[in-house]
Amino acid sequence: MKNIKTIAKPTLKNTTSKGCGECQTSCQSACKTSCTVANQECENTKRR
Amino acid sequence: MIHKYQYKDQYIVLDINSGAVHVVTYIVYDILDYYKEKPLEDIPELLYDRYGREDILEALEEINYLVENEMLYTDDSQVTMDMLEGRGAVIKAMCLHVAHDCNMTCKYCFGDKGAFEGVRSLLSLETGKKAIDFLLEHSGTRRNLEIDFFGGEPLMNFEVVKSLVAYGREAEKVYGKNIRFTITTNGLLLDDVKADFINKNMDNVILSIDGRQSVNDNMRRTVNNKGTYDIITENYVRFVEKRKGTYYVRGTFTRENLDFSEDVKHLADKGFKNVSIEPVVTDPSFSYALQEDDKEMILKEYDKLTDLYLDYAKEGKKFEFFHFNVDMNQGPCVVKRVSGCGAGTEYVAVSPEGDIYPCHQFVGNQDFKLGNLNDDHFENNRYDEFNKAHIYNKEKCRECWAKFYCSGGCHANAYHMNHDILEPYELGCELEKKRIECAIAIKAILSE
Render pLDDT for B176-219 as a digit per residue (tens, 0 to 9): 999 999 999 999 999 999 999 999 999 999 999 999 999 999 99
Cα distance between the two ends of chain B: 26
How high is the pLDDT of residue B284? 86
Residue B67 Cα distances to B36, B170, B228, angstroms? 11, 53, 55
Residue B43 in 3-state DSSP? helix
The CA distance from A45 to the nearest CA of chain B, in Å, is: 11
Beta bridge partners of B95: B148, B349
Tell which residue, B245, B274, B265, has the closest CA to residue A31: B274
Sign of the dihedral defined by the CA atoms of residues B217, B220, B223, B229, in that order: negative
CA-to-CA distance for B182 and B164, rounded, in angstroms?
12
Q: What is the CA radius of gyration of chain A?
A: 14
CA distance B63 to A1: 10
Answer whether B19 touches A (CB < 8 Å): yes
pLDDT at B433 over 70: yes
The pLDDT confidence band at residue B83, using thresholds 50, 70 and 90, is confident
From B114's Cα to the closest Cα of chain A, the distance in A is: 15
Please report residues of A whose CB lies closer than 8 A to that of B247. none
Q: What is the pLDDT of residue B236?
A: 98
Look at B355 and A46; give whichever has higher pLDDT: B355
Interface contact B63-A4, CB threshold 8 A: yes
Predicted-complex ipTM score = 0.91
B254, B274, B341, B394: which to substitute to probe chain A, counting the most A Cβ within 10 Å?
A: B341
B contact residues 376-405, partner A, Cβ 8 Å cutoff: 404-405
- Cβ separation of A28 and B142 shorter than 8 Å? no
| Residue A44, CB-side half-sphere exposure with 13 Å CA sphere | 14
Its pTM stands at 0.94
Confidence (pLDDT) at B84: 81
Do the Cβ atoms of B337 and A1 come within 8 Å? no
B270: helix, strand or coil: coil
Sign of the Cα pseudo-torsion (B336, B339, B340, B343, in order): negative
Question: What residues of A are in contact with residue B439 (Cβ under 8 Å)?
Answer: 38-39
List the single best residue of A4, A46, A47 to mutate versus B (max B Cβ within 10 A).
Answer: A4
User: Residue B3: beta bridge partners?
Assistant: B14
pLDDT at A24: 72
Quote the percentage of chain B above a pLDDT of 90: 85
Mean pLDDT, 10 residues at a time, chain A of 48 residues: 96 76 64 60 64
Which of B364, B373, B439, B372 lies closest to B402, judged by CA? B439
**Does residue A27 contact residue B406 with C-beta atoms inside 8 Å?**
no
Report the share of chain B in percent with pLDDT over 70.
100
- pLDDT at site B311: 97
Show residues of chain A in contact with B341, CB under 8 Å.
Answer: 25-27, 35, 37
Beta-bridge mates of residue B349: B95, B357
Distance (Å) of CA B70 to CA A2, B22, B153: 19, 13, 49
Is B38 an interface residue toward A (CB < 8 Å)?
no
Q: How far is B315 from chain A (nearest CA, A)?
A: 24
pLDDT at A30: 44
